[in-house]
Amino acid sequence: MRIIAISVVALALLTASPALAQQKPDPAKVDAAVKASLKTFPAPPEVWQPRLDADETMRACAASDNSPPKAVVDAIAKRERGSIEYPADGQFIGDWKKGEATAQSGYGLRSTDYPATRANGGNCYACHQLSKTEVSYGTIGPSLLGYGKLREFKADEVKIAYEKVYNSHAAFPCSLMPRFGSNKVLTMDQIKDLVALLMSKDSPVNQ
């Protein structure tokens, strides 16, 4: 993901548009335009409305075209790692079949998805290749085909996979991927199911 971000910046520099030459607007003005122009989330105001504000990590990522300097990268990784909550029993692997369903589903949090009628999806296939059987996959993220096999199903890789799904910025600051756990998009159990999808020997990811 980071490589993508860097190459995007490089491309942007090579093809500098007229707009880039202009002065950047005051961030407060940008935030005000967002608040004045968007309707409110169709949910109680305390649930999602605060997330219209870009937090410190998102500000740093946006300001640098998702490629901040080393010191900022380290600060983001540290801060985002701090928001990861771990299963109390140390068990990271759920049910890969449920994980596959979560990876397929794009349901949830779109303006027409309120009130929710089922669990949010992770929509993983929108951006990642995961299995040979699903040909409709996106390419914004790297292919995850054979993810567990490539890592020899090692125990420490299970925890790393959990952390990447829970908060991708801990491993890849300014990743394009949503912070599924920290942002409360997916539950801890759903994330464990996705870890199972990635790291189980019998999961379609590793066939």
Partner 1 sequence: MTFGFRPLLVACAIFALGSSALAQDSDAATEKAIEKYRQMLKEDPWSNPGLLDADRGEGLWTSARGPKKVSLEQCDLGKGPGNVEGAFAELPRYFADADRVMDVETRILWCMEKLQGFDRAELIKRPHPGGGQPVKELGAIATYVASKSSGMKYSAKFDQPKEKESVALGEALFVRRSGPFDFACTTCHAAPNTRIRLQGLAHLSNPEGARKVIGEWPAYRVSSTHVMTMQHRLADCFWQMRLPEPELGSDLTVALISYLTSQAKGGDISAPGLKR
The token duo for 11 is 């491309």
Contact 164, 65 (CB under 8 A): no
CB of 133 to partner 1, least distance (A): 7
Handedness of CA 180, 182, 186, 190 (dihedral sign): positive
- Give Cβ neighbours of residue 163 (< 8 Å, ≥ 6 apart): 81, 84, 170, 171
| Among candidate residues 142, 119, 122, 121, the one with its CA nearest the CA of residue 130 | 142
Which C-beta is closer to partner 1: that of 158 or that of 186? 186
Closest CA to 93 of 6, 19, 196, 183: 196
- Residues 43-52: b if buried by 16+ CB within 10 A, e if exposed: eeeeebeeee
Q: Which amino acid appears at position 27 of this protein? A: P
- 52 vs 74 by CB, closer to partner 1: 52
Enumerate binding residues for partner 1 (CB under 8 A): 4, 7-8, 11-12, 15, 17-20, 22-25, 27, 29-30, 33-34, 36-42, 48, 51-54, 58, 61-62, 65-66, 106, 108-112, 125-127, 129, 132-140, 145, 176, 178-179, 183-185
Shortest Cβ 87–partner 1 spacing (Å):
22
Rounded CA-CA distance 123/109 in Å is: 12
Minimum distance from residue 98 beta carbon to partner 1 (Å): 21
Which residue number, 95 or 134, has a Cβ lying nearer to partner 1? 134
CB of 89 to partner 1, least distance (A): 28
CB of 82 to partner 1, least distance (A): 17
Q: Which C-beta is closer to partner 1: that of 65 or that of 157? A: 65
Measured from the CB atom, the residue of 116 and 154 that comes closer to partner 1 is 116
